[in-house]
Structure 1
Amino acid sequence: MKALAWIALAVSLVCTGLYVTDSTWENGWMFGPILLVSVVPILFSIANKLDGGLAALRGTVPRAFRDAPIGIGTVVSVSRTGLTVNDQPQLEIELNVDTPNGLTFRATTRQIVDLMELGAVHPGAVLPVRYLPDGQVTLAIDASRDELQTAFDRVQLSKGLITPKQLHITEHGVDAQAVILAMAPTGEIRGDRAVVNLTLRITRPNHTMFDLIQQKALPPSAIAQTQPGSAVRVRYLPQDESEVTILTALTPS
């Protein structure tokens, strides 16, 4: 489609030049400027939408976004554009994007979304994005789990939601499994996070266990994952078992 758009652009430019050199209504070249002004922009617009849609279906991002930094977007609004690719709808997604260096900006992206994943794209949902210096974004569907976790950790640190020590544990700690033995809300709210006292039983890599009681400020998305009896991923420093970070859906706490 993009090749067709470029061909149409070349033809329209040639015809426009001929029209300008013989500027009469009857010279037959007037379709050149008409094509240039009305048809070519539409072709390029459709080509860009299809390119983005095909990239999404392939599990990649558009070429301009490859290796772009990752930010964390919170969905503000979602609407359908009317375009579909292989019966998958294109959504226009408006987000507030937080970056690892502490910046926040509003952005909009159009994305082909699998029908099975539509329920995950709703106002309030947290989605990782790749972003460009001019504020353009696309969903980071190509990023690895480790890349996403690192970006999320850095954003949380920049917003003051985790401490440098917690970041150090997340990046350098040992992976382990834990079971939530008890969760007791304190009644305190920090930002949009509920502060709770958690009792955890952590299983070390050598299968021995230790218990730990910690106070955590949990985002709303983590509450359901930290109910008593829930199994969670954690990280801790073997030389210091006084604190763990809980990894729940890319939400360290």
Structure 2
Amino acid sequence: MSIAGPLLGIVITLVVLGVMAVVFVTVFLPMMKNANKMLAGANEMIQAQTAAANLRMTGLPAQARVLIVQPTGTMINYQPQCRVDLEVYRPNAPPYRAAILAVIHQMAIPRVQPGLVVPVKIDAANPNNIALDV
């Protein structure tokens, strides 16, 4: 009986395992790292949306004039995220400028345009923490 048969089986098994290891390292590991980055970004967006929703419920009401609206290129639930520069008017306080990132529902886009006044909610502890209330 020859040992070439079992030796050939071991060699083929080692070659297949080696190819699988190379594919795993070159393909799947980078994909997993990218997936982790995407999940972290999604988690960050969810936290920001939750904070904005909480602020809309608990914040101090005020008015703000829209100065600039710039889409960021990010869509959340098919709604555009925009950088919005505002001039904020609070009762019994001087106006001030602030910039926020806001997801603007497509139906609300016409109401959030430069020159228009929009309702906002302001964090009492941090007046630069602002949520559009449209």
Q: Report the counterpart of residue 82 of structure 1 in structure 2.
A: 73
How much does 1:103 deviate?
2.6
Distance 1:50 1:84, change over 3 A: farther
Return the offset for 1:65.
5.1
Aligned AA (2:120): V
Higher relative CO (Cα under 8 Å, sequence separation at least 6) belongs to 2
Cα gap change, 1:111 to 1:120, in 2 (>3 Å):
same
Partner in structure 2 of residue 47 of structure 1: 43
Match of 1:240 in 2: none
Whichever structure has more strand as a proportion of its residues is 1
> Which runs of 5 or more residues in structure 2 are unaligned?
1-32
Structure with higher helix content:
2
Q: 1:136 aligns with which of 117, 129, 133?
A: 129
Structure 1: 5+ residue runs without aligned partners? Answer: 1-34, 142-253
**What CA distance in whole angstroms lies between the structure 1 residues aligned with 2:72 and 2:46?**
13
The number of equivalent residue pairs is 97
Q: d(CA) in 2 for partners of 1:96 and 1:46?
A: 29
Show CA shifts across 1:141-167 (max 9, x none): 4xxxxxxxxxxxxxxxxxxxxxxxxxx
RMSD: 2.8
Normalised to the residue count of structure 2, the TM-score between the two structures is: 0.59
**CA shift in 2, pair 1:118/1:105, >3 Å:** same
SS in 2 for 1:119: helix
Give identity over the alignment, percent: 23
Indicate whether 1:118 and 2:114 are aligned.
Answer: no
